[in-house]
Amino acid sequence: MPKSLISIHDFSKEEMLHILDVASEMEKNKSQKILDGKVVACLFFEPSTRTRLSFETAANRLGARVIGFSDVGNTSISKGESLKDTIKMVSNYVDIIVMRHPLEGAARYASEVSNLPVVNAGDGANQHPSQTLLDMYSIRQSQGRLDGLTINMVGDLKYGRTVHSLLQAMSHFDPSFVFTAPAELQMPMEYKQFLTERGIAYRETTSLNEHLNDCDILYMTRVQQERFSDPMEYEKVKDVYRLDASMLGGVRSNMKILHPLPRINEISLDVDDTPYAYYFKQAENGMYVRMAIIACLLGYR
């Protein structure tokens, strides 16, 4: 097991499956005080309420205490302290560091500056590996397997880091993909090449309806305004896909809809009550997966 979780590429297939197995143990036993007396730092250099609460709850459920900050406004970083100094300082206090940072590569750097395990809770548009693992956990839980599934990724496939990481992680499990995106936001060439090199099939479409009925997982994403430099480009594509319950008449009975949340308009509220909605369960799973990540990196599983 690597010392830190920075990029999904650092973990082998076996290591990913181990985390998923531990997560399912955590789901069966939601409070275990195995980290009694430990301190977890949650350093959020940019705000992310959902991810932070999920990590903090995970640490608390394992019996650890949590310190940290949820944005840099009240910290010495706003006085100009370097990332290195902040990490060095915190490393003296705690047992493991969970961090989110707007700059890409910040978590990798922190893991090299610190002698402690570091969990990357998102570094800009680069990596967010706990999201990838919780997506995999939700896929396995809802389908009973990871192998041989058809995954339809919808929305911003150009800038969306969650779809890029999930695509690479799932490539170990003989998947086939559908990429549903407007012309401006299509899956970048490098990822399609990655699949071609591995003999993994993919189809591309601009129509959400085209492949609704022949996929096992419908992975919806939000078009994130913060990733666009040009506001005009954002306006053109922000509401391009809207899934509502009336579109789900012919889908496979096992089909499940995932979404990293928060959603804006891409999934209408009436989908929530269908048997296909899985995104709230997915968010809950995030906590078990993060419990597993912390426990594994600290050597308790």
Partner 1 sequence: MTTTARQLIVNAIENGTVLDHIPSENLFKVVDILNLAESQNQITIGSNLESKSFGRKGIIKVADRYFEDNELNRIALVAPQATINIIKDYKVIEKHKISIPEEVFGIGKCANPMCVTNHQKIATRFKTIVEGDRINLLCHFCEKTTNIINL
Q: Where do contacts with partner 1 occur on this chain (CB under 8 A)? A: 7, 9, 82-84, 101-106, 108-109, 123-127
Q: Tokens in use for 251?
A: 């889908």
Name residue 4's amino acid.
S
Q: How many CB atoms lie within 10 A of CB 80?
A: 7
Q: Which is nearer to partner 1, 23 or 98 (CB)?
A: 98
Q: How many CB atoms lie within 10 A of CB 112?
A: 13
Collapsing DSSP states into helix, strand and coil, what is residue 99? strand
Residue with tokens 């999930």: 166
Closest CB 11 distance from partner 1, rounded Å: 14
Closest CB 284 distance from partner 1, rounded Å: 29
Closest CB 211 distance from partner 1, rounded Å: 29
What is the torsion angle, in degrees rounded to the nearest 10, for the CA atoms of residue 207, residue 212, residue 218 and residue 219?
0
Q: Which is nearer to partner 1, 105 or 182 (CB)?
A: 105
E strands in 190-262: 202-205, 217-220, 256-258
58-79 burial string, b = 16+ CB within 10 Å, else e? bbbbbebebebbbebeeeebee
Closest CB 166 distance from partner 1, rounded Å: 16
CA distance 297 to 241: 39
Q: Which is nearer to partner 1, 87 or 215 (CB)?
A: 87
CA distance 130 to 290: 7
CA-CA-CA-CA torsion sign (34, 36, 41, 46): positive
Q: Which is nearer to partner 1, 27 or 46 (CB)?
A: 46
Closest CB 7 distance from partner 1, rounded Å: 7
Q: Which is nearer to partner 1, 65 or 227 (CB)?
A: 227
Closest CB 168 distance from partner 1, rounded Å: 11
Q: Which is nearer to partner 1, 127 or 221 (CB)?
A: 127
